[in-house]
Structure 1
Amino acid sequence: MGTLRTSFLGSIAEVCIVSGDHKKTMDGLLRLGIGPFQVFDFTPTTVPQRFFRGQTGSFELKVCFARHGDLTFEIMQPTGGESLMAEYLDQRRGKEGVQHIAFDCNNVPMKERKREMRERGFEPAMEGVWKGKKGSCNFCFFDTEASTGTIFESIDFSEDWEDPECEWYPHPPTSDASYGAEKAVRQR
């Protein structure tokens, strides 16, 4: 394997809970003081490029984000197709929990992140391109579970990214200065 940089992953940007009921999970996190949440639908319209285990993917997800200090909490609920999130719930008989963590990989381009992860023996397991009002976000989940006990994700927002329209739950924040799907990655 040679000598690998130990600082490659950078900082943790996001912790994701996979849920069969995103509203129930949001309500639980709200009781803990985490929220409000931006709620998005990942569908063929919003994520036109989707790949699952090396093939064209069909996954659809409800995706919710809440900022909490420098960390983003994410909730993902599978709503259709094959996904790592659906597999997680199936394997755990519907029990929700922390399924992946996302790293900023020191904001290097996604192509370099994939190359580095492959050199370490981890292939992309699920990936896609999410469309914003402007720009795009490349996300890639790596097949790290057998070695680490969880999935590692990396997220790369384009410089011109603007969040797409979303639903706020339970309401929009009083100030949107600290919100935005890309803030966790960009503010590091």
Structure 2
Amino acid sequence: MCATHGTTSQTNGSSASTGQQSFLGNAIEICIVTRDHKRTIDGLLRLGIGPWKSYTFTPENTTNQTYRGKPAEFTLKVCFAQGPNVVYEIIQPVSGPTIFGEFLDKHGEGIHHVAYDCHGIPWEERMAGFKERGFELAQSGSWQGRNHFAFFETEDATTTCFETYFFPDDWEDPVADEVYGLPSTE
């Protein structure tokens, strides 16, 4: 779920060691789940990761919300920073059933998922591709009705949750709730 999604390079995703093409494509985002997004942003800013844009995903601005295959209302604080090769994301669950709250209960704070571009294939094909490979949908939604995101039940098989998301070509970031800049070097 990335607001500052940038451009991804198109590669064939082939693996020299296996001779197979990767369904996932390129890693485009790394997400940390936290109980306190401001504390986590502060630490990452001190490491030079930022600036950050913070948004609140609610049932009012995020449609088609699902949890474990059923409609569900949830609210998340979601923050983005564009790195040179990857987007950094922070998610703080606020309310409703989420895989992010489950992660906090089970593992505590930390890296929750990696998002992949699936070589830019159409959204429906991505969804079908995960299902064909035996991975059920864990959580999904459409932020602003146009940024589709989906998380899959890949943790048991891979130790990590995987996400894919889609932005239309004409996407423009909404106004952020808050912006956190890098500290001045003066």
Q: Same fold (TM over 0.5)?
A: yes
Q: Please report the RMSD computed on the Cα atoms of aligned residues, expressed in angstroms.
A: 1.4
Structure 1 residue 111 displacement after superposition? 0.5
Match of 2:103 among 88, 93, 98: 88
Please point out which of 126, 137, 160 is paired with 1:124: 137
Query: How far did 1:6 drift?
Result: 2.9
State the Cα distance separating 1:137 from its structure 2 match: 0.7
Q: Report the CA distance between 1:61 and its aligned residue.
A: 0.2
Say which of 17, 25, 30 aligns to 2:40: 25
Could you tell me whether the CA contact under 8 Å between 1:36 and 1:168 is conserved in 2? no
Q: Distance in 2 between matches of 1:109 and 1:160?
A: 16
User: What is the match of residue 156 of structure 2?
Assistant: 146
Matched with 2:111 is: 98
Describe the superposition over 1:69-88 as per-residue Cα deviations: whole angstroms up to 9, x where unpaired.
12100000000000010000
Question: 2:38 & 2:179 partners in 1: Cα distance?
Answer: 9
* Aligned twin of 2:17: none
- Unmatched segments (≥5 aa) in structure 2: 1-19
Mean CA deviation greater in 154-163 or 119-128: 154-163
**CA deviation map 1:130-177 (0-9, x unaligned):** 11xxx71110001100001110000111222111111343249xxxxx
1:30-64 per-residue CA deviation (whole Å, 9 max, x = no partner) reads: 01100010101000111022000011011110000
Partners of 1:58 and 1:169 in 2: CA distance: 26
Counterpart position of 1:52 = 67
* Worse overlay, 159-168 or 97-106: 159-168
Name the aligned partner's letter for residue 40 of structure 1: Y
Q: Partner of 1:27: helix, strand, or coil? A: helix
Aligned length: 163
Q: Which residue of 2 aligns with 1:163?
A: 173
List alignment gaps of at least 5 residues for structure 1: 173-188
Q: Of 109, 122, 133, which residue of structure 1 is paired with 2:122?
A: 109
What secondary structure sits across from 2:62 in the alignment? coil
Distance 1:18 1:52 in 2: 17
3-state SS of the aligned residue for 2:141? strand
